[in-house]
């Protein structure tokens, strides 16, 4: 297993190499040859509009509409979703048999803090996992299917 000084040395070498490469790229991008080539390429593609911002806005509007209507399938598209969950605080209190001290030790009852509690208290695993309830599904991406 490498030591901290070895990790630090590797980092320093990688950092120096990245700085060198960045400077080399910058020098090339400022050269007359690059500037001329870039101008020629820009001229070749100048007539092609860039609709990427419009696509991003349309995507966000579509995701909002799908979520508002609860649609998770769309013909011709792969719809990616994420389950939305929350912790039922009263169920946790019941799982702790009304022990407010145990409940307060979680500070804020979020799924992460509950999972951390379960790691250190495996005897409560089944009861506490039942306190995590799904509150819905959210569409997070829409990808055109391959034809």
107: left (phi over 0), alpha (psi -120 to 50) or beta: left
CA distance 94 to 121: 16
CA distance 143 to 119: 37
Decide if pLDDT at 106 tops 80.
no
Q: What is the pTM of this model?
A: 0.46
Number of domains in the chain: 1
Decide if pLDDT at 147 tops 50.
no
Higher pLDDT, 41 or 143: 41
CA distance 118 to 89: 15
**Over the stretch 19-52, which tens digit does the pLDDT of each residue have?**
999 999 999 999 999 999 999 999 999 999 999 9
CB-based burial, 8-46: b 16+ in 10 Å, e otherwise:
eeeeeeeeeeeeeeeeeeeeeeeeeeeeeeeeeeeeeee
Give the pLDDT score at 146: 63
Residue 118 lies in a domain: no
DSSP 70: T
CA distance 24 to 19: 9
Residue 139 lies in a domain: no
DSSP 96-147: TTT-HHHHHTTSS--HHHHHHHHHH-GGGHHHHHTTEEEEEEEEEEEEEPP-
Give the pLDDT score at 25: 96
Residue 71 lies in a domain: no
Residue 56 lies in a domain: no
Residue 5 lies in a domain: yes
Asked if 131 and 95 count as a contact pair (C-beta separation under 8 A), the reply is yes
Q: Which domain holds residue 9?
A: 1-48
Residue 15 lies in a domain: yes
Residue 137 lies in a domain: no
Residue 30 lies in a domain: yes
Mean pLDDT across the chain: 86
């Amino acid at each position: 297993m490498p030591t901290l000084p070895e990790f630090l040395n590797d980092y320093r070498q990688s950092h120096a190499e990245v700085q060198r490469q960045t400077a080399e790229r910058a020098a090339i991008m400022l050269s007359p040859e690059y500037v001329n080539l870039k101008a020629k390429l820009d001229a070749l593609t100048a007539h092609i509009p860039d609709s990427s911002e419009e696509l991003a806005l349309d995507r966000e509007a579509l995701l909002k509409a799908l979520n508002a209507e609860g649609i998770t399938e769309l013909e011709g598209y792969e719809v990616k979703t994420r389950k939305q969950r929350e912790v039922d605080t009263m169920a946790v209190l019941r799982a702790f048999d009304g022990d407010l001290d145990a409940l307060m030790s979680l500070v804020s009852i979020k799924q992460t803090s509950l999972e951390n509690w379960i790691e250190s208290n495996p005897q409560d695993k089944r009861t506490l996992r039942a306190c995590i309830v799904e509150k819905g599904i959210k569409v997070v991406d829409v990808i055109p299917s391959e034809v």
